[in-house]
Amino acid sequence: MPRSLLTYKQALAWLYSLQRFGIKLGLENIQRLLKELHIDLGSARASRAVSGTSPETSASAKVIHVAGTNGKGSVCAMIDSICRAQGYRTGLFTSPHLITFRERIRLNGEMVTQEAVASGLTAIRDLVADWDPHPTFFEVATALALNHFVEAKVDIVILETGLGGRLDATNAIRSDVSVITPVDFDHQQWLGQSLREIAAEKAGIIKPRVPVISAVRRREAAEVIRKRAAECEAPIEYVTAPYDETPIALAGSHQKQNAALAIAALDAAKIDISESAIVDGLANVEWPARFQRWDERTIIDGAHNPAAAKVLTDTWREFFSDQRATLILAVLSDKDLRGICEALAPISDYVLLPKICSERAAVPEKLAKVLAGTAPSLPYSIIPSIADALNQARKRPQPILLTGSLHFAGEALAHLRSKPAAFEECAQ
């Protein structure tokens, strides 16, 4: 018997309570969820059963599936922006969020409403109440997003994997193109300790005879992806040349590579896109915390692994040359603290280590020890909060760089926007 409708706040509290089930890689639960919700985008049929409408009601959409270690969110945002510029109705599912859960599910560029989250999660809560094993946070979020897109009858669905690819909940949907951004080390406890193992997990999104677009350059990773594509008889295209024909709203040379990947993915999916839509879409794409310039001297970037930190360092030099940063750094404890510090030290003049909200964050004292061992001559201070760190940084003449975690970037943005009450606990 259905229980009462949850409010938005109650719905999120229930959703976050599912984090107690941890991360469970596997497709059984999400496949069961999609079946119970009558969602079958892969065969271009999906009913809106959750909202109680006719089970005969169906929707079809092109599906673009994006995996990789870094850059996949930017690629998804570019694809979404280009498609909207062309006039398509889009559904975009990404993770993690920066400030509010609603960022993860976007319809035509707009965040999902609180009402849609509340009603959708109420229906899923009632559906899975007695399931064993119980669906996880990410499985429920994925089902919520897909059901929302089906109800909205979108033309194009863009899915970013949450973790890995092969056993990621987003992999339960058959796509029209599989996109793999650069592969590097991250989440080794889940994906493996070698590049080959990590690449194998990412390559798991490759489906039989579905085209693959890849920007993977590291040889051992590229070999794994090429082998998987061959096994699946999936045509594969490697994108090596950057897109540099028109301006891109996102900063950094690496975004030109991401743009080329996005354009190639649209072509492989046989989605009709004009040159003007590409130009407009790239010129207007928004993706916060990716070398985001808050003001003339403040940069926010969510780099959370050594490869991303190295790209950030390169981008910093593109804009600031040899000028060093006052670095405000916070990193999650399960990340490669030393690798991140090593990448950022060459562009840092002074480091401020604030305490942040996340229980997963490395305590500033631990990060300080790693930093001291990595760059002994680099001065640092442990600071009580983001507000105090920004106050200290603004007293110094150098430009300011806040980085180390997307969670930290979200908390920093909420503070800078004077909306800390809107900041919701991040889940990755």
Same domain, 328 and 275: no
Same domain, 261 and 351: no
Same domain, 337 and 415: yes
Contacts of 370 (CB under 8 A, 6+ apart): 337, 338, 341, 362
Same domain, 79 and 163: yes
* pLDDT number for residue 26: 82
**Residue located via tokens 């089906």:** 150
Judge whether 401 lies within some domain: yes
Same domain, 18 and 157: yes
Q: Please state, in angstroms and as integers, the Cα–Cα distance from residue 169 to each residue in 172, 202, 259, following that order.
A: 6, 13, 26
Same domain, 161 and 248: yes
* pLDDT number for residue 422: 72
Per-residue pLDDT reduced to its tens digit, 87-107: 999 999 999 999 999 999 999
* pLDDT number for residue 143: 98
Same domain, 328 and 257: no
* pLDDT number for residue 421: 66
Q: Which of 257, 256, 278, 276 is nearest to 267 (CA)?
A: 278
Same domain, 240 and 224: yes
Which residues, given as ranges, of the chain have pLDDT below 50?
A: 43-59, 426-428
* pLDDT number for residue 3: 72
Q: Which of 343, 82, 75 is nearest to 213 (CA)?
A: 75
* pLDDT number for residue 398: 98
Same domain, 93 and 216: yes
Domain boundary among 262, 284, 306: 284
Same domain, 383 and 404: yes
The number of residues making up the chain comes to 428
Per-residue pLDDT reduced to its tens digit, 3-19: 789 999 999 999 999 98
Domain of 224: which CATH number?
3.40.1190.10
* pLDDT number for residue 54: 29
Same domain, 272 and 314: no
